[in-house]
Amino acid sequence: MKVLLVGSGGREHALAKLIRRSLLEPRLFIAMDYRNPGLEREAVETGGRGFVVHTTSPAEVAKVAEEISPDLIVIGPEEPQFHGVTDELRERGYIVFGASSKCAEVEKSKVFARSLMWKYKIYGRLYFKAFTGIEEARRFIEFAGDVVIKPARQAGGKGVKVLKDTQAYLSRDRAEVKKTYVEKLFSEMERYRDIDYKILVEQRVEGVEYTSMIITDGNAVIPLPLVQDHPHAYEFDIGPETGGMGSIQGPGWVLPFITREEFAKTVEVVSEVLKALQNEVREAYVGAFAGQMMLTGIWGPTVIEFYSRFGDPEISNLVPIVTNDFLELLDKAARRKLASAKLDIDENRVTIVKALAPAGYPDDKKLASGHPVCIDESRVRELGCEVLYASVELQGDGLMYSKGSRIFEIVCSGNSYEEAYEKAEKAVTYVKSLDGWPLFYRGDIGSKELLMDRFRTAERARTIYWSRMRRGLLGKVLVWIPGEGISDNPLIGFLR
Amino acid sequence: MGSFLVVYAFDELWSLANIVRYGLLSLQHRGSQSCVVCVPGEKVVCTQGESIDEVSKEAFKNVALVVIGNGSDDTPVETDNTKSIAVASERPWSGSDGVLQALAKALSGNGDIVEAFVSAVSKASSNAMPSLAVLTKRGEVIVWRSSSSLSPLVLGSYGFDMAIAASESVAIDILGGEVKRFLAPGEGMYIARHLLKRFTVNANSERSGLCTFEFLYLARHDAIIDGVSVYLFRKLLGKELAKHIESEVDVVVGVPETALPYAIGFAEAIEKPFEMAFVATGGRKRSMLYSDPFEKLVAIHLKMNPIRSALEGKRIALIDDSMVTGSTIKTVSQILRFRVGVPEIHLFIASPPLVAQCPFNVMKLDMKSLLAANLSESLAKDYLEVDSLHWLSKEDVNGVVSRFGLKLCGRCFGVVFFGCGK
């Protein structure tokens, strides 16, 4: 079976590893933006090859497809979906696993996703306000309170400003930052011509984040085990937001700090959104879909945003635990015959993924680019771990150079968090920078301390949302302005 | 001893003046007559002053290192000739210049400043080393908790925007942040625009133990130290203290305001009412931290206007956290006797008698003025005008400290350590 995988990073490498184990004897072809040595190797070893193209160009990717006539095409990242690559390939008659551009709107436009949830009154929705023009945004932000400011379009998982504002004595300082940030974000969002709304101001919530991924053919839904990503760049959840510095999973389908009921509710929410989305765009959703969730005191399971693809690095956690034919699953979804399929996992294992990045990531891509790096892969394998190649490019001199984002993901598993953690901590030491440029990773991911912290935070959220549930207050945030009355708008702050 | 506050905003949009101001307000119970604010730039600029409001204005950038303490002795900050680096210590220390020079050399030669710090500190290794905080003109920060770990150091964050380090967890709470890590003895953090790195120097747990006074007196009730709630610790010591009761009392009273949780724990244990007894005037003053005896008395007197109706004619269990010179207790007993009119005062001290000077000069104790070291028990009772006087024994304290999994330095109480650590 010939499979064309579109995408260049760690997520695609994880997919390549999952796909090549299949009994369908896949030959893997990869359409990637740069020579990712890991992806290239997976392709060559299965008798396929890699193609360097612009993966967001429908014509270029179609050309590769024409050349190899694949039996299945898997679209990894969201940007090719946004740019119509999936649409073009389906139009040409290929069997494609991946959201269409219309369906991918649920990730591309955070305003669309939020509006959908409100229109269909779906559980776990947050209050928001979106802006197309800077003047209106400027006026609004003057009086905004405890909010998050986000780019209204998916922008590589970055640009989110969380401005906790529950203390009036620091409100003015935060208001200053909000104002300046809104200006800055507007000018940054100018380059996206494919969306009307530029920024989103959203109710801030706190709690424990987790990702719920599913595979769907538009009817059947197969949930994947829950995974927790770690968006802060540095240890102990400190520092700027990244695309994810690592993730944990297991044992089994839920995370240790999420209950079965919460998992069920989450899958219900994600499935309802999927239905509503298909109803709106009048198209079947074929591919991977995910809810970036948070267990909050306001709702319990709460939606932060959606992905129209597998999470990166979240999908990497599945590499060691999937026990049946993953390619068959993707293929059945793409052929809209998913009802007869299922996913089996090793429910006793725990997986930890750790990403390594050059200093400069995530805020200064230039600084983080062009550094030669290497990894002693055989030593990593000796530990029973896997290496996924992400933002590294093989160049003419035979060396790998950083491309500005996370360079490798190390995937380790074990019968306990302790075991997987120990392996992962050892495995990351086999990555080296060849020009002395500092690399970083998070030593706390998968540690007992961080897990305990998640338990405590989840328990606190649970105490609050259970009590709100008993009183019929889930999702509600009442604000009383004497003289004006009671309203339901938590975006307003202390400053009048 | 000085306290640290380091705020590092990763986004240059932030100007930290007001944030530093509130952070310092939350630390002022640890001593606040002098503070120094350092900010990066072409040169490191450090400004010293007495008023939090004034000095915090200098923290107008996105990175600030601040030390606050009882006097300029408590806030030593040294900068090199070129003003490219500042090294702040919690208390004066002979090795700080060595660290400063080593860092300045590394910085001018484009060396690794974390390596330079680690090597300089390990060379300077001594029992009494204070915790250190470093700021470079490029805006890099190092915070390091001394391996003797007499005082705490906590790391926190605010959203994706800030890393905050402080000597007490309350500063992170008050700035709207979240406490992320209690630095272990010898553990340090390097924080820069594009990197945050953890390192360890001289971690020798055998030598290290928090100063008992940190829990007993210095920290706020709402603080968490190395994972342990100060409030619960104090309440439990109060309960322990109740085991020493020998005569009937009507009400339990704590010396404001540190002793209140002790008194609450004590009252809970003997099932007698805990009463508010005194109201303070002019804000909270930490009387024990004044070195001038007159200033100290002024601070005590301002704290102690009694609520007569709650106390008149009652037999009182009076609780305090510790007794150094006894001057506070003397004042309280005089007020209770002469202004209120109480028939009996039974004094309970939630720590053992202080018998030795602090070898690290963390607590400025003068042997001549330590009541327990100079007066016999019956003389002390007569001087203080109390009917009975009870102390927690070293064994009592040891038990409570162990229950919390802590290890505290107890040299001024005549033991090396209380508890044994986790």
Query: How much is the ipTM here?
Result: 0.92
Q: What is the mean pLDDT of chain A?
A: 95
Residue to test with chain A: of B161, B189, B198, most A Cβ within 10 A? B161
The correct CATH number of A2-101 out of 3.40.50.20, 3.90.1150.10, 3.30.420.40, 3.30.379.10 is 3.40.50.20
Partner residue opposite B13 with nearest CB, options A180, A237, A364: A180
Q: From residue B296, how far is each of B160, B331, B394 by CA, in Å?
A: 43, 12, 28
Which residue from B135, B222, B221, B136 is spatially nearest to B179, judged by alpha carbons? B222
Q: Work out the average pLDDT over A368-392.
A: 97
Cα of A39 vs its chain's centroid, Å: 20
Rounded to whole angstroms, the Cα distance separating A222 from A344 reads: 11
- Domain spans of chain A, in order of start: 2-101, 127-203, 207-448
What pLDDT score does B227 carry? 94
Tell me the percentage of chain B whose pLDDT exceeds 70.
96
Q: Are A236 and B10 an interchain contact pair (Cβ–Cβ within 8 Å)?
A: no
Average pLDDT over residues B322-340: 92
Confidence at residue A145, expressed as pLDDT on a 0 to 100 scale: 84
CB contact under 8 A, A238 and B196: yes
Nearest CA in chain B to A238: B157
Q: Determine which of B57, B63, B157, B160 to mutate to test the interface with A (most A C-beta atoms within 10 Å).
A: B160
pLDDT bin (cut points 50, 70, 90) of residue A157 is low
- List CB contacts (< 8 A) between B196 and chain A: 233-235, 238-239, 440
Q: Cβ A172–B18 below 8 Å, yes or no?
A: yes
Judged by CB atoms closer than 8 Å, whether chains meet at B15 and A176 is answered as yes
From the list B176, B181, B196, the residue facing A164 with the nearest CB is B176
Give the range among A321-325, A372-376, B90-94, B315-319 with minimum mean pLDDT.
B90-94
Predicted local confidence at residue A492, as pLDDT:
75
Q: Tens digit of pLDDT for each residue in A306-348? A: 999 999 999 999 999 999 999 999 999 999 999 989 999 999 9
* Residue of B365 and B75 predicted with greater confidence: B75
The structural domains of chain B, ordered by start, are 3-208 (3.60.20.10), 230-419 (3.40.50.2020)
Euclidean distance between CA atoms A28 and A50, whole angstroms:
8
Q: How far is B99 from chain A (nearest CA, A)?
A: 23
A229 forms beta bridges with A247
Residue B141, strand partner residues = B135, B191
Tell me the CATH class for A207-448: alpha beta
**Å from B10 to nearest chain A CA?**
7
Q: Which residues of B touch A (CB under 8 A)?
A: 10-11, 13-15, 18-19, 22, 155, 157-161, 163, 174-176, 178, 180-181, 193-198
Contact A170 B196 (CB under 8 A): no
Residue A439 near residue A402, CB atoms below 8 Å: no
The answer to whether the CB atoms of B158 and A164 lie below 8 A apart is yes
Q: Is B156 exposed, middle or buried (0-12, 13-18, 19+ CB in 10 A)?
A: buried
Whether the per-residue pLDDT at A192 is higher than 90: the answer is no
The average confidence (pLDDT) of chain B is: 92
Band the pLDDT of B124: cuts 50, 70, 90: confident
Residues of A in contact with B160 (CB under 8 A): 160-162, 231-232, 239-241
Residues across chain B: 422
Q: What is the pLDDT, as a whole number, of residue A155?
A: 78
Q: Do A360 and B198 make contact, defined as CB atoms within 8 angstroms? A: no
> For A181-185, B175-179, B248-252, B265-269, which range has the lowest pLDDT when averaged over its residues?
A181-185
Type of residue numbered A57: S
CB–CB contact B160 A239 (8 Å): yes
In A, minimum Cα distance to B165 occurs at A238
Interface test with B, best of A148, A204, A236 (most B CBs within 10 A): A236
Cβ-nearest to B22 among A169, A237, A238: A169
Give the percent of chain A with pLDDT over 70. Answer: 99
The string of pLDDT tens digits covering residues A223-258 is 999 999 999 999 999 999 999 999 999 999 999 999
Give contacts of A231 with chain B, Cβ < 8 Å: 160
How does pLDDT run across A135-152, given as a tens digit for each residue? 888 888 888 888 999 998
B196, A169: Cβ pair inside 8 Å? Answer: no
- Give the model's pLDDT for residue A480: 80
E strands, A123-184, in order:
128-131, 147-151, 161-163
Q: Which residue on chain A is closest to B14 by alpha carbon? A: A177
Give me the pLDDT at residue B289, please: 65
pLDDT at residue A42, rounded to an integer: 97
Q: What are residue B47's phi and psi, to 5 degrees?
A: -120, 130
Taking CB atoms and an 8 Å cut-off, how many pairs form between chains A and B?
83
Return the beta strands (E) in A235-325 as ranges: 238-241, 246-249, 287-296, 300-307
| pLDDT above 70 (res B422) | no
- Mean pLDDT confidence for A60-89: 97
Give me the CATH code for the A127-203 domain, please. Answer: 3.30.1490.20
Whole-model pTM: value is 0.94
pLDDT value at B11 more than 80: yes
pLDDT of residue B391: 96
Give the ranges where A246-389 is alpha helix by DSSP (H): 260-281, 326-334, 365-368, 377-382
pLDDT value at A366 more than 90: yes
Q: B373: distance to nearest CA of chain A, Å?
A: 44
Query: Which chain A residues are closer than 8 Å to B159 by Cβ?
Result: 161-164
pLDDT in tens, B256-306: 889 999 999 999 999 999 999 999 887 666 666 666 778 778 888 888 899
Looking at mean pLDDT, say which of A110-114, A266-270, B50-54, B92-96 comes out highest.
A266-270
State pLDDT tens for residues B47-98: 999 999 999 999 999 999 999 998 888 888 999 999 999 999 998 888 888 9
